[in-house]
A and B are shown apart, each in its own frame.
Chain A
Amino acid sequence: MNDDASLLKAQPERTQKSWVWAVLAAVLVLLLVLSVFLGRYPQAGVLRIDQLRDNLLAQRLVVNVRIPRLLTSLLLGMVLAASGTVFQMIFANPLVEPGFLGVSQGAAFGAALAIVFFSASAALVQGMAALFAFAGLGFSYLLARRIRVGSWLLRLILAGIAVSALFSAGLGIVKYLADPLRQLPEITFWMLGGLASITWTKFLAVLPACLLGLAVIFAFRWRLNLLALDETTAFSLGAAPRRERLVMMIAAVLATSAIISVAGMVGWIGLIIPHIARRLVGSDTRRNLPAAILLGGAFGVICDDLARMLMAGEIPLGILTSLLGAAIFIILMARGLGKGVRA
């Protein structure tokens, strides 16, 4: 084995795309700084430095409204992209997103319930949405344990579909019972998603859960690769696939339910951003998870900038993320899903 030494040194195969990180980080920082100055006050477009210096209202607006909202949109994108990556790995399927195990429908049902029956204080709507999002995961998990057919992952998917359907039926009932002039529009707007009502209090309330979820996912990022393998294989590599998948799911859903409790239903980020990250830096989650977090943050900020700037009235964020996300998805599909994904 004389050739070993030279073999071990030669590393022409590894692509060192360090510039990707520099570009991603730079774009994100630039976006954040720029977004502070973008808006519709005092005029639509860019807030000038002298206005920020002289106009007290503009200062207050930036500090109390724009910055917490900006940070929430950043967090939203990061959380949904990271959770999406987790779900796509755990289910070894590039077409799942963090809401699909009864999480999204659970949140919608919880929020609607609070709006109609509990006088809709903002804190209660958030709390119920987060609670029922988590309940969606819990029910799906428990139901999957009871199902007697198929592999564990198939059972989870089936259970998720069933639980989502139950919650969406429940949501239908609540909507039917809602006051059509007062409550129904509120439910509808909540489900369209948006960050118009974000304050520092709301942002800080969801920040710990989001950071905890993100930190667990980030620390676990290389091992996430193993969880996409067959259970026997993952076991033979020293992993405890079921237990580790459950921990990752809880971390992802904890962060997701926290953020959608204040942002409402914001789709497509969790589905599309992991794809783009895989294309950019490859399939190894040690690299593509951080890339997804940066990209997701940027996507969240861009979408929310557009939501508050494009028109005099606010465009619901969920509409923009779906529109942009679906457009990107179609482009990716038309060009083949790319080397990061086996179609």
Chain B
Amino acid sequence: MSASLLSFEHAAFGYTRSKPIFTDLNYQLRRGTLTVILGPNGIGKTTLLYLALGWLQPSAGQVLLENRPLQDYSRAEIGRRVSLVPQTERQPYSYTVLEYVLFGRAPHLALFGAPGEKDEQAARQALARAGIPELAGAYVDQLSGGEGQLVLIARALAQEPRVLLLDEPSAHLDLGNKYRLMQTLSDLRKHGTTILMTTHDPEIALSISDETVLVDGSGSVTVGTPAQLLTAESLSRLYHLPEGALEIRPSHPGIVLRRL
């Protein structure tokens, strides 16, 4: 088994021909790591996740999942290997949390199938792993933002994926919920789940990532450990900040915006 779970080989993609987002994307997601994709708004972080999911296909090059091109997999096969936690989600009807998490069993079921007892066990296990077993009977439209995010994570875990993709999971969370979310993700990684997530918050990258991917609009990405990449200079460049605006204190991991 190779260490690389997902790999991008010379992948190119753009929503329009004139404005490519990636021209030569080369990156390998290593098994068992928690990797954070960092970059300014609108630069292509979510696009990278969608390429990893197979929702978007590269116009050149390829994306490999376990050394096989992503387009060679059926949708259900992808669904059993890769799962997505979207940033927000439309919930037009009021499901119970358990019903909602059971949707994650869809790739394991036949087209006309419906979840059975085994699937319910898997869903309850996913709820437990996401740290919210007590919410099974609650209604999804009555949850707080933090709980809602954990429900989406539980649904993704119910897919029993090899890699979990998360799109800005902390975007709408307050400090306490952000902390609990990061703790959950860190626990999942400890138990062997490979995680690839986007964020616009460098502090999250610094505090939990094994590896950091910088998307800077150059058409490619820079990959390294947080210590290598998250320097005041590189972050200032990434977010177009004036010189000296950022300070990174190695003794107390954290990024501080200078007081104005």
Contacts and interface: CB of A to CB of B under 8 A. Distances in A.
Interface of A: 1, 3-4, 7-8, 12-14, 92-94, 219-223, 225-226, 228-230, 232-233, 235-240, 278, 282-284, 286, 339-342
A223 B94 CA distance: 16
A111 to B, nearest CB: 33
B27 interface: no
A239 B75 contact: yes
Given A223-B111, A237-B103, A230 B89 contact: yes
Contacts of B115: 222
Given A232-B55, A278-B93, A342-B91, A12 B75 contact: no
A236 B79 contact: yes
A4 B125 CA distance: 7
B128 A4 contact: yes
Contacts of A240: 75
Interface of B is mostly: mixed
A228 B89 CA distance: 11
A236 B84 contact: yes
A232 B112 contact: no
Residue of B82, B96, B104 with highest tally of chain A CB at under 10 A: B96
B112 A220 contact: yes
B76 interface: yes
A223 B111 CA distance: 8
Given A7-B133, A284-B95, A92 B106 contact: no
B96 A93 contact: no
Contacts, number: 106
Given A232-B50, A232-B86, A341-B94, A237 B106 contact: yes
A230 B141 CA distance: 16
B159 interface: yes
A342 B139 CA distance: 11
Which bucket holds chain B's interface residue count?
35 or more
Contacts of B98: 13-14
Interface in B112-140: 112-115, 121, 124-125, 128, 133, 136-137, 139
B107 interface: yes
A8 B124 contact: yes
B137 A284 contact: no
Given A236-B55, A237-B106, A7 B124 contact: yes
B95 A230 contact: no
B103 A225 contact: yes
Contacts of A278: 93
A238 B79 contact: yes
B11 interface: no
Given A7-B124, A226-B103, A339-B139, 17 more contacts: A8-B121, A13-B136, A219-B112, A220-B111, A221-B114, A229-B90, A235-B55, A238-B78, A239-B75, A282-B96, A283-B94, A284-B95, A284-B99, A286-B114, A341-B93, A342-B92, A342-B141
Interface of B: 50, 53-55, 75-76, 78-80, 82-84, 86, 89-96, 98-99, 103-104, 106-107, 111-115, 121, 124-125, 128, 133, 136-137, 139, 141, 156, 159
Contacts of B106: 223, 226, 237-239
A157 to B, nearest CB: 14
A150 B68 CA distance: 34
5 contacts: A236-B83, A282-B94, A282-B95, A282-B99, A284-B95
Contacts of B107: 237-238
Contact of B137 (A7, A13, A232, A340): A13
8 interchain residue pairs of minimum CB distance: A13-B137, A238-B79, A238-B107, A222-B114, A236-B84, A283-B93, A238-B76, A92-B92
B93 A229 contact: no
Contacts of B91: 342
A89 to B, nearest CB: 8
